[in-house]
Structure 1
Amino acid sequence: MPIPSLTLTRQAAAADVPAIVALVESAYRGESGLRGWTTETHLLDGQRTDADNVAGLIGRDDSRVLLVEREGDLAACCHIERQGQSGYFGMFAVRPELQMAGLGRGLLAEAERIARDEWQAEAMRMSVIEQRAELIAWYQRRGYRLTGETGEFPYGQPRFGIPRRDDLRFVWMSKPLQEVAA
């Protein structure tokens, strides 16, 4: 199905915080998340993010929250941040009913372009919950590879969600952005 009236990325402002929080929550938690394939409801309860966290990302140096709009409504978002020679990609969400229409691929490509062209980042990095095999496979189809690095899930910190299981952890993925000189 064609997606009309897209504005492919603008940078978020403070006024966008409530809409961003609502979008992220709808894509990852509760019943609305079950309409899309990105839900984490089987792994986590509680919130995915909050207004203070999103506002902090918008206000931080070397950090951008990118938005995709459809007919004036927020359809997708992500957070990118310059971290040394790499970009970091996170808080990626697409409205559940619009998933699998190419919005996510387009937004990821724009995030990579910004990191490569504006920040001269050599790679884009991200962390993904290890148990999200389908999401890891989606990123692998877009050139990301598992690095072998892992990170602990922040148990006991409900601002990241309330785990439904005790074996959650993060895996790190990376994709080179710069051409390697021969």
Structure 2
Amino acid sequence: MTAPLHFRTATLADRDAIIALVTSAYRGDASRAGWTTEADLLDGPRVAPEVLEHDLVRPRSRVVLAEREGALVACAHVCDDAGAGYFGMFAVDPTRQGGGLGDAVLRECERVAREDWQLSAMRMTVIDVRDELIAWYERRGYRRTGIKKPFPYGDARFGHPKRADLRFEVLEKALVPAAPSSPPNGEQRR
């Protein structure tokens, strides 16, 4: 039996562990152990320490950590962005991808936006050439809005692009009130 998954809100003390997890899931050779790698698209940092620090302390912003047996296995950032939830900085340990951790973290972030902040929609931006990732979100109720945003070429906080055709697409999902229930799969919140 798999140990239960525990959620908690990150603090500034978690900064370096979050950066290490996010980097391992998206950049460099370590990321190739999972399916979310961006190693063929981008080099360099995936999250800037100063941006993460800001997200950790600003109002209506939460970095959700998922831990199993005391080990950090996944994280994501959720915040109130002009009256809608915004989901980002989503990372699952690449050696643990494909086992439902991502689903659990996404559901927890949707719960935060819907129940804690009473927001009716969740949005995110995804690099539009990430077809497999976009399809994963679509299977979870997100839809492509057709809204495209330019990739911030030249801004080192977003990494160093290996392609000249990168841009973001906005995905969105309506957050309908959930029926009262206990968390699935033995998940617990702290």
Q: TM-score range by the shorter chain?
A: over 0.9
Partner of 2:3: 4
| Structure 1 SS opposite 2:85 | strand
Q: Matched residues in 2 for 1:84 and 1:45: separation?
A: 31
How many residues in Structure 1 have an aligned counterpart in Structure 2? 177
Q: Matched residues in 2 for 1:38 and 1:3: separation?
A: 23
Matched-pair contact (CA < 8 Å) for 1:3–1:101: no
| Cα deviation, residue 107, structure 1 | 0.7
Q: Matched residues in 2 for 1:26 and 1:95: separation?
A: 7
Structure 1 segments of 4+ aligned residues over 2 angstroms from their partners: none
Q: Matched residues in 1 for 2:2 and 2:64: separation?
A: 18
| Cα deviation, residue 106, structure 1 | 0.5
> Which amino acid counterpart does residue 93 of structure 1 have in structure 2?
A
Q: Percent of counterpart pairs with the same letter?
A: 53
| 1:111-150 matched pairs, under 5 angstroms | 111-150=109-148
| 1:151-162 matched pairs, under 5 angstroms | 151-162=149-160
| Cα deviation, residue 5, structure 1 | 4.1
Partner of 1:175: 173
2:85 aligned to which of 87, 99, 103: 87
Partner of 1:104: 102
Gaps of 5+ in 1: none
Gaps of 5+ in 2: 178-190
Q: Give the CA RMSD over aligned residues.
A: 1.1
| Cα deviation, residue 50, structure 1 | 2.7
| Cα deviation, residue 55, structure 1 | 1.1
Q: Matched residues in 2 for 1:94 and 1:3: separation?
A: 16
> Which amino acid counterpart does residue 119 of structure 2 have in structure 1?
A
| Structure 2 SS opposite 1:117 | helix
1:23 aligned to which of 21, 24, 49: 21
Cα deviation, 1:38-76, whole Å, max 9, x if unaligned, reads 000010011101322211110111100000012211100
Query: What TM-score do the two structures reach when normalised by structure 2?
Result: 0.90
| Cα deviation, residue 160, structure 1 | 0.4
| Structure 2 SS opposite 1:23 | helix
| Structure 1 SS opposite 2:75 | strand
Matched-pair contact (CA < 8 Å) for 1:121–1:178: no
Q: Matched residues in 2 for 1:85 and 1:62: separation?
A: 10
| 1:64-83 matched pairs, under 5 angstroms | 64-83=62-81
| Cα deviation, residue 178, structure 1 | 2.7
Partner of 2:181: none
